[in-house]
């Protein structure tokens, strides 16, 4: 960013709101029992309801409600006792009924907050609403024609709408990451952005700092990766600021992000003004969330990632980066919890995290394995850490023991015993070894005692050589200092 | 109207038997299902060229009749409608049998599934003869709006059979089936039943599954029977009613044996007479017939109670906002992409939509889509659609209040008898034909039209009974009494 | 409430994706205008605080168990399509967006 732009951004404040669509991880569609699967051959996951055939009616999937409710509760949203489905009308080939079943003025969830991890701290972003709706199919462009595949049509979605209260592209990208983490954490969605299971539109405007009113906004579509969210919004902020700086006016429009070109283009204005003609869907009575369902949902919410993030920093004194990495994946964080349970010393949390993030993830990556399928259970990693922490083996040996245990599945202690690599911490034994070294190397002893400090390492090395590296380095060094008199 | 059901009676005209009697005779071995079916088909071949009730015959129907006869020979238990030939309004989906809803839009479409009512009829042993005509997407009151053909009233072939279930009513009246299914959004079962001198029952909203009924106005549509006798209406309702998980608006309530309600006893029954339904332009003949219906009920010990339904006058405008609004939405799926007719050589996508819909919907359907689109536009929604739905609440409250005092209400089904083709020229004039039937749909109540005599011109007149939600039994009981006293003994002259 | 203008009728027809011939447009302008005027009577009905009726029989939504049923085959799915290419529905090229 060049300096005149920096100056401009000191005058202008970006205001960003996101609308994120998240597919819910159900086995069947929102309003019919047609199966949900990614990557099936075209139009092989349909039924008369999905095709919008005459005479068909929607029947709502309980799992979709339960998952949406989970997200509502986890974001502290107000859950509407009687939510309603509404029809949103527009003609498009991927929309079989000519309307989408969505929610309008009576959505399931309103007024929650998403806690995002931004700049190493937790920040709360207000949510306007979370509502249920059905996904559309897919259109594919082939020359003079377009092809339509309706496998995706009817897949249940939640649309999460943030308040327009983010002020940088970076923050918006963190919002996406935090939402992604949360829905995966709660098994609401796999949220694989490459599979379109999570998709984002952004509303961007800028205003002079200190101004209360929002500027004219544009809507960015097709920003379906964390990277695109950041790039597209950054690009849009710059575009708007430059226009305003030149005295031009922002046009309220929808712009399509072209990731390859790194620019956005206004979408061709439609022949008709949008008018979705919402009205309550007469085929679907109100969605009632009763006490037992609410209680079951509340009971099923585990400790949330942001809460763990803060605990890891506060209780276990982890760095924000390490804590964030751990909570980035529920399986990773749960692994950590189990390891900690198996070995819960005062400083163990931080040490276990280090081992996990370096040794364990390194080994898993090298083998193309995931944490969930780790051949090394958390209890075993904890055992290695404990052996090192208690001084049974050195850190260096510890890494070797870890590697062997990872490969063979043998218990760490068994490896230590078999290899005879227990650390020697017995002062008498070490004193004997030191005595041998001193006797065998009179010249070096003399040299050290006459001021050649760098010879100290030589003695440590000799002790290690005679003990096959098993001498406890701290005790060895203490005893050497005493024996050599310096 | 039915032959006396005696042991080993000679059955000469099985097509004129009621559904209940025919089922009994088939079960008793007096007549085979195949013979009953063949008699109906022969009649269709003879008479339907003129009447124009049928749009399609089900080629596999005869095999169903043969199978019933085989079971009967083996003394296997027979279901309640075993061998009874039934006609289906063409806006009810039948697997593998052309279903057009009276529209060019669906010409040639073979549904891959059955409506719930069809599954239930098949399970009850009914023989689905074929599909009968209706106004396009059930939008009309005369069946003149069918894009396929004209259906004539068997009582006077220069007159309309009513609509939109005109094909169903005409086929039942002419003995071209033992009974039929129709759909009723604002009177489309009861009005043609009245015009054709047969019984038409619109059940409580949600009593019968709408799965497979091609939607016109989802919050108003109901499937119901059109039959020659009240007993048949009860029998068919027993078969088709009930909870269906595929229809979220179907009601989870047990289905009574409605025929048990036909006791002939109306002593102490409180019959409401809403004066709003007797005002204004009701024909003298209709008034006279209704007076006889009242007198019949009073003679049998019923009590007449004057009631008022003050919002009745708002029912028609409210209906003509709500129904078209929902229709504009329900008919958005006809876009020439997945099924149905498409414009050839469309230049672009917009062109495909505009021309496919422009060329394949008839003028009445277009008018309703336009009206509905108008009423749902942002900025107009509150003044039209929402306002109309509020008025619906007021209409429902009127009924709730009146039903605290009475058990049923008695009204004319229509202000006049069947009119001549082309008689109603403006849409508003045509809409008036439903003036007495549509409040029932707006309030979700059950209603029945039962014949109560002929006019001076020899045209049938219908009396309408309206009931409390899920109280079809009381409607049927009262209708049965009117039928016994005032039922039309003659057969339609065009077909007798 | 004024009757509908020709322009308004054309806008509604476009929104509803209905091509209307000139004579149909003229007919709609007159007829819809008359019907809309007829609706105007409703404006005078006092409805303040009256809830709109969306369902004739009040009930709660039933929830379906999340159990997938066998799908139609893709051949069945596209069998009735006026234009298809293999297992896909075909429409004229889409330019610009929908939703």
For residue A391, the model assigns a pLDDT of 80
For the cut 90, the answer to whether the pLDDT of residue B5 exceeds it is no
Q: What is the mean pLDDT of chain C?
A: 90
Tokens, residue C89 = 């529905």
**Residues 236-275, chain B: which have Cβ within 8 Å of C?**
245, 248-249, 251-252
Q: What angle do CA B249, B262, B411 make, to 5 degrees?
A: 70
A175 alpha-carbon distance from chain centroid: 10
Phi, psi of B417 (to 5 degrees): -80, 180
Q: What is the mean pLDDT of chain B?
A: 95
For the segment A20-42, the average pLDDT, to the nearest whole number, is 97
The pLDDT tens digits for A179-202 are 999 999 999 999 999 999 999 999
Concatenated DSSP letters for B54-69? EEEE-TTHHHHHHHHH
High-pLDDT (> 90) share of chain B, %: 93
For the cut 80, the answer to whether the pLDDT of residue B301 exceeds it is yes
pLDDT-derived band at A421 (thresholds 50, 70, 90) equals: confident
Q: Does an H or E element contain A405, and which?
A: helix A395-408
Which residues make Cβ contacts (< 8 Å) with residue B379, sequence separation at least 6? none
Tokens, residue C17 = 């994706």
Q: Do A45 and C95 touch (CB under 8 A)?
A: no
A contacts of C60 (beta carbons < 8 Å): 82, 285-288
Please tell me which chains touch B, using 3 or more CB pairs under 8 Å as the contact test. A, C
For residue C97, the model assigns a pLDDT of 44
For residue A267, the model assigns a pLDDT of 81
> Where would I find the beta strands (DSSP E) of A346-432?
none
Q: Minimal Cα distance from B377: which residue of A? A: A277
Lowest mean pLDDT, pick from A241-255, B28-42, B437-451: A241-255
For the cut 70, the answer to whether the pLDDT of residue A273 exceeds it is no
The pLDDT tens digits for A117-143 are 988 889 999 999 999 999 999 999 888
For residue A468, the model assigns a pLDDT of 83
pLDDT-derived band at B429 (thresholds 50, 70, 90) equals: confident
**Residues 324-343, chain B: which have Cβ within 8 Å of C?**
328, 332, 335-342
For the cut 80, the answer to whether the pLDDT of residue A15 exceeds it is yes
For the cut 90, the answer to whether the pLDDT of residue A28 exceeds it is yes
For the segment B466-470, the average pLDDT, to the nearest whole number, is 98
The pLDDT tens digits for B317-327 are 999 999 999 99
High-pLDDT (> 70) share of chain B, %: 98
Minimal Cβ distance to B211: which of A55, A96, A146: A55
Top-confidence range, A165-169, A273-277, B208-212 = B208-212
For the cut 70, the answer to whether the pLDDT of residue B221 exceeds it is yes
For residue C1, the model assigns a pLDDT of 41
Q: Do C53 and B354 touch (CB under 8 A)?
A: no
Minimal Cβ distance to A41: which of C87, C90, C96: C87
Q: Are strands B303-307 and B270-274 parallel, antiparallel or unpaired?
A: parallel
B336, B414, B417, B455, B462 from B287: Cα distances, Å:
48, 10, 11, 10, 11
C contacts of B349 (beta carbons < 8 Å): 91-95
pTM > 0.90: yes
Rg (CA), chain C: 22
Give the position of tokens 């010990």. Answer: B301
For the segment B214-232, the average pLDDT, to the nearest whole number, is 98
Q: What is the mean pLDDT of chain A?
A: 92
High-pLDDT (> 70) share of chain A, %: 98
For residue B6, the model assigns a pLDDT of 47
Cα A17 from Cα A9, distance rounded (Å)? 18
For the cut 70, the answer to whether the pLDDT of residue C2 exceeds it is no
For the cut 70, the answer to whether the pLDDT of residue B2 exceeds it is no
Minimal Cβ distance to A288: which of C61, C69, C72: C61
A contacts of B337 (beta carbons < 8 Å): 93, 148
Q: Do A146 and C99 touch (CB under 8 A)?
A: no
B89 is catalytic: yes
Q: Do A43 and C60 touch (CB under 8 A)?
A: no
How close does chain C come to B97, measured CA to CA in Å?
14
For the segment A342-354, the average pLDDT, to the nearest whole number, is 85
For residue A486, the model assigns a pLDDT of 67
pLDDT-derived band at A424 (thresholds 50, 70, 90) equals: confident
Cα A376 from Cα A378, distance rounded (Å)? 6
For residue B494, the model assigns a pLDDT of 76
Q: Do C68 and A287 touch (CB under 8 A)?
A: no
Please give the biggest Cα pair distance in chain A.
102
The pLDDT tens digits for A311-333 are 999 999 999 999 999 999 999 99
Q: Do B350 and C1 touch (CB under 8 A)?
A: no
A contacts of B339 (beta carbons < 8 Å): 51, 53-54
- A390 against A352, higher pLDDT: A352
Which residues make Cβ contacts (< 8 Å) with residue B235, sequence separation at least 6? B19, B20, B23, B80, B81, B258, B259
For residue A269, the model assigns a pLDDT of 56
Minimal Cβ distance to C52: which of B314, B346, B393: B393
Q: Do C15 and A275 touch (CB under 8 A)?
A: yes
SS3 percent helix, strand, coil of chain A, rounded to 5, is 45, 20, 35
For the cut 80, the answer to whether the pLDDT of residue B236 exceeds it is yes
């Amino acid at each position: 960013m060049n300096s005149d732009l920096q100056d401009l951004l000191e005058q202008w404040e970006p205001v960003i709101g996101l609308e994120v669509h998240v597919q819910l991880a159900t086995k069947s569609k929102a309003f019919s029992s047609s199966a949900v699967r990614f990557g099936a051959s075209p139009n092989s996951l349909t039924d008369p309801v999905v095709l919008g055939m005459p005479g068909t009616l929607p029947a709502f999937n309980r799992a979709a409600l339960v998952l949406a409710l989970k997200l509502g509760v986890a974001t502290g949203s107000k859950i509407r006792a009687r939510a309603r489905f509404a029809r949103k009308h527009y003609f498009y080939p991927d929309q079989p009924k000519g309307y989408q079943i969505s929610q309008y003025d009576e959505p399931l969830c309103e007024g929650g907050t998403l806690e995002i991890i931004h700049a190493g701290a937790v920040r709360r972003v207000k949510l306007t609403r979370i509502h249920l709706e059905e996904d559309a199919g897919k259109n594919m462009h082939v020359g003079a024609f377009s092809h339509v595949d309706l496998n995706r049509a009817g897949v249940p979605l939640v649309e999460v709408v943030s308040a327009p209260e983010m002020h940088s592209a970076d923050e918006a990208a963190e919002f996406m990451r935090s939402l992604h983490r949360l829905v995966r954490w709660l098994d609401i969605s796999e949220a694989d952005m490459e599979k379109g299971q999570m998709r984002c539109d952004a509303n961007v405007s800028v205003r002079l700092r200190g101004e209360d009113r929002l500027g004219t906004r544009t809507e960015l579509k097709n920003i379906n990766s964390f990277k695109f969210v950041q790039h597209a919004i950054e690009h849009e902020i710059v575009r708007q600021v430059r226009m305003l700086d030149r005295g031009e006016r922002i046009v309220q429009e929808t712009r399509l992000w072209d990731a390859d070109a790194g620019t956005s283009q206004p979408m061709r204005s439609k022949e008709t003004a949008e008018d979705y003609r919402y009205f309550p869907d007469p085929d679907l009575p109100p969605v009632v969330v009763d006490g037992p369902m609410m209680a079951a949902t509340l009971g099923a919410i585990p400790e949330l990632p942001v809460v763990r993030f803060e605990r890891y920093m506060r209780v276990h004194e982890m760095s924000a980066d390490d804590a964030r990495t751990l909570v980035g994946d529920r399986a990773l964080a749960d692994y950590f919890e189990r390891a900690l349970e198996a070995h819960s010393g005062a400083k163990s949390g931080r040490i276990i995290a280090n081992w996990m993030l370096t040794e364990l993830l390194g080994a898993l990556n090298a083998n193309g394995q995931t944490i969930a399928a780790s051949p090394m259970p958390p209890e075993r990693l904890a055992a290695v850490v404990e052996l090192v922490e208690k001084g049974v083996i050195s850190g260096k040996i510890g890494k070797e023991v870890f590697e062997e245990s990872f490969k063979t599945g043998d218990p760490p202690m068994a490896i230590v015993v078999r290899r005879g690599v227990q650390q020697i911490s017995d002062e008498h034994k070490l004193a004997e070894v030191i005595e041998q070294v001193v006797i065998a190397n009179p010249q070096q002893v003399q040299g050290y005692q006459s001021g050649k400090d760098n010879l100290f390492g030589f003695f440590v090395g000799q002790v290690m050589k005679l003990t096959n590296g098993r001498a406890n380095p701290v005790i060895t060094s203490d005893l050497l200092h005493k024996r050599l008199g310096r | 109207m039915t032959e006396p059901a005696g042991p080993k009676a000679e059955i000469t005209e099985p097509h004129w038997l009621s559904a209940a009697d025919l089922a009994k005779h088939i079960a008793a071995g007096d007549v085979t299902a195949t013979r009953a079916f063949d008699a109906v088909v022969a009649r269709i071949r003879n008479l339907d060229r003129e009447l124009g009730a049928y749009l399609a015959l089900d080629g596999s129907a005869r095999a169903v009749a043969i199978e019933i006869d085989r079971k009967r020979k083996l003394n296997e238990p027979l279901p309640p409608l075993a061998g009874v030939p039934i006609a289906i309004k063409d806006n009810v989906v039948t697997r593998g049998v052309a279903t057009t809803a009276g529209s060019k839009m669906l010409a040639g479409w073979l549904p891959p599934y059955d409506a719930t009512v069809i599954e239930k009829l098949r399970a009850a042993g009914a023989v689905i003869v074929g599909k009968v005509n209706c106004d396009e997407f059930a939008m009309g009151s005369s069946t003149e709006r069918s894009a396929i053909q004209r259906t004539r009233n068997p009582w006077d072939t220069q007159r309309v059979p009513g609509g939109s279930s005109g094909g169903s009513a005409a086929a039942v009246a002419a003995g071209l089936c033992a009974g039929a299914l129709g759909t009723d959004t604002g009177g489309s079962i009861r009005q043609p039943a009245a015009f054709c001198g047969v019984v038409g029952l619109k059940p409580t909203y949600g009593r019968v599954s709408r799965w497979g009924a091609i939607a016109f106005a989802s919050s108003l549509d109901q499937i119901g029977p059109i039959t020659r006798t009240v007993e048949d209406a009860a029998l068919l309702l027993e078969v088709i009613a009930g909870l269906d998980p595929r229809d979220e608006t179907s009601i989870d309530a047990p289905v009574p044996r409605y025929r048990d309600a036909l006791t002939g006893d109306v002593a102490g029954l409180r019959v409401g007479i809403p004066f709003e339904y007797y005002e204004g332009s009701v024909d003298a003949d209709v008034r006279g017939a209704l007076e006889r219906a009242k007198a019949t009920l009073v003679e049998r010990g019923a009590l007449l109670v004057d009631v008022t339904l003050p919002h009745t006058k708002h029912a028609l405008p409210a209906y003509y906002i709500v129904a078209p609004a929902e229709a504009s939405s329900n008919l958005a799926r006809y876009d020439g992409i997945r099924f149905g007719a498409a414009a050839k050589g469309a230049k672009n996508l917009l062109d495909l939509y505009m021309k496919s819909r422009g060329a394949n919907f008839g003028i009445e359907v277009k008018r309703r889509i336009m009206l509905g689109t108008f009423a749902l536009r942002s900025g107009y929604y509150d003044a039209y659609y929402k306002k109309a739905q509020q008025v619906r609440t007021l209409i429902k409250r009127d009924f709730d209040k009146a039903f605290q005092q009475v058990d049923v209400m008695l009204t004319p089904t229509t202000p006049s008898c069947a009119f001549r083709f082309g008689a109603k020229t403006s849409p508003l004039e045509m809409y008036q034909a439903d003036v007495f039937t549509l409040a029932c749909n707006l309030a979700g109540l059950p209603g029945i039209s039962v014949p109560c005599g002929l006019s001076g011109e020899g045209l049938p007149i219908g009396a309408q009974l309206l009931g409390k939600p899920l109280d079809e039994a009381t409607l049927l009981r009262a209708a049965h009494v009117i039928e016994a006293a005032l039922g039309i003994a003659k057969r339609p002259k065009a077909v007798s | 409430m004024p009757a509908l203008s020709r322009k308004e009728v054309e806008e509604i027809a476009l929104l509803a994706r209905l091509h209307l011939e000139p004579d149909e447009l003229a007919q709609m302008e007159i007829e819809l205008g008359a019907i809309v005027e007829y609706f105007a009577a409703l404006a005078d009905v006092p409805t303040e605080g009256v809830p709109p009726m969306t369902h004739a029989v009040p009930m709660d939504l039933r929830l379906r168990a999340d159990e997938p049923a066998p799908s139609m085959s893709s051949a069945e799915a596209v069998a009735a399509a006026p234009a298809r290419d293999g297992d896909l529905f075909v429409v004229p090229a889409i330019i610009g967006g929908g939703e």
